[in-house]
Amino acid sequence: MVEIPRPPLCMGYGKSRDIPDRPEMIALLRSAFERGMDFFDTAEVYGPWTNEEMVGEALAPMRQEVKIATKFGWNIDQSTGEHLGGVNSRPKQIRSAVEGSLRRLGTDYIDLCYQHRVDPDVPMEDVAGTVKDLIDEGKVLHFGLSEAGANSIRRANAEQPVVALQSEYSLWTRDPEKEVLTVLEELGIGLVAFSPLGKGFLTGKLDGSTSFNEFDTRRNFPRFSKEAMAANKALVELIHAIGDKYGATPAQVALAWLLAQKPWIIPLFGTRKLERYEENVGALAVSLSADDCEEIEAANIKIEGARYPDALMKLSYL
């Protein structure tokens, strides 16, 4: 397995076509590097394109000292950056997307290149084969998948070794436990767990009174309806109580729980503030006991609301 330490997710820095606090976000990424962070995650679809451009600028002075992950796979018009809807992992699209990412990131290689979502219309062997060619050309170093199911992981890995799967995994999203984690352990593939803080909910700072602005995708997620957030508050209360024993925040407990699951599971967190970054990294000093983990399991708290709208859910675990 490739060791991937404490990577921050840069997605939230460019979900619209504008990053109004771009200088501050560049400073934050550089501060993270100064504090030991060396792996940064982005994607062509974030913006699209604004995020990769910002990440490339931020990391240019230390490019040889960091690892950058990006992703292809959504149906992005490669000439305009318009998201045309749906997925597209045809070989020509993959090549065009990777060339664009290289240009925007200001680099001649991508450390880890993920297929962002499985394309049901393109054989996985064709996807993996195209990335294999890009690896042979030196444009990509490692191949990853995102939100892929067990069969797709096996098929891809048979064509080109997969070093990492990026999927949502946290105390309130346990789906990978059903089948995927077993396959990853068998094949020696690491899990990069995105949204380890439940897209902010597990920090305890969101509740039924929270409102989201027009650029915040959470406003369209069933799990963030007022009713679902009120019902799911029980989980936050539980981890808050556990955190009190250690002088830890709910966010730190959520991250510590993830770190306690498997040594090859890495939380992928994101933040816009340095103090939140430092809080998250502080989870490394929190060691949950077996009794703590058993208490969480015994509570058997049912999470209300789907994590994504139906269209996105249909693209998960294919």
* Domain extent listing, the chain: 11-313
- pLDDT score for 207: 84
- pLDDT score for 11: 57
pTM for the whole structure: 0.93
* Top-level class of domain 11-313: alpha beta
CB proximity list for 81: less than 8 A, separation 6 or greater: 47, 48, 49
- pLDDT score for 21: 86
> Is 277 among the residues known to form the active site?
no
- pLDDT score for 7: 55
If we measure between CA atoms, which residue out of 199, 159, 153, 203 comes closest to residue 176?
153
- pLDDT score for 10: 60
Residue 41 vs residues 25, 48, 52, 71: alpha-carbon distances, Å: 14, 14, 9, 9
Tens place of pLDDT per residue across the chain (318 aa): 334 344 555 655 544 556 778 899 999 999 999 999 999 999 999 989 999 999 999 999 999 999 999 999 999 999 999 999 999 999 999 999 999 999 999 999 999 999 999 999 999 999 999 999 999 999 999 999 999 999 999 999 999 999 999 999 999 999 999 999 999 999 999 999 999 999 999 999 998 788 888 878 899 999 999 999 999 999 999 999 999 999 999 999 999 999 999 999 999 998 888 999 999 999 999 999 999 999 999 999 999 999 999 999 999 999
Q: Which two tokens stand for residue 147?
A: 């939100």
- pLDDT score for 4: 37
Q: Report the alpha-carbon angle 173-178-181, nearest 5.
A: 90
- pLDDT score for 217: 87
Question: Of residues 13, 46, 277, 317, which has the active-site annotation?
Answer: 46
Q: Which two tokens stand for residue 216?
A: 């915040």
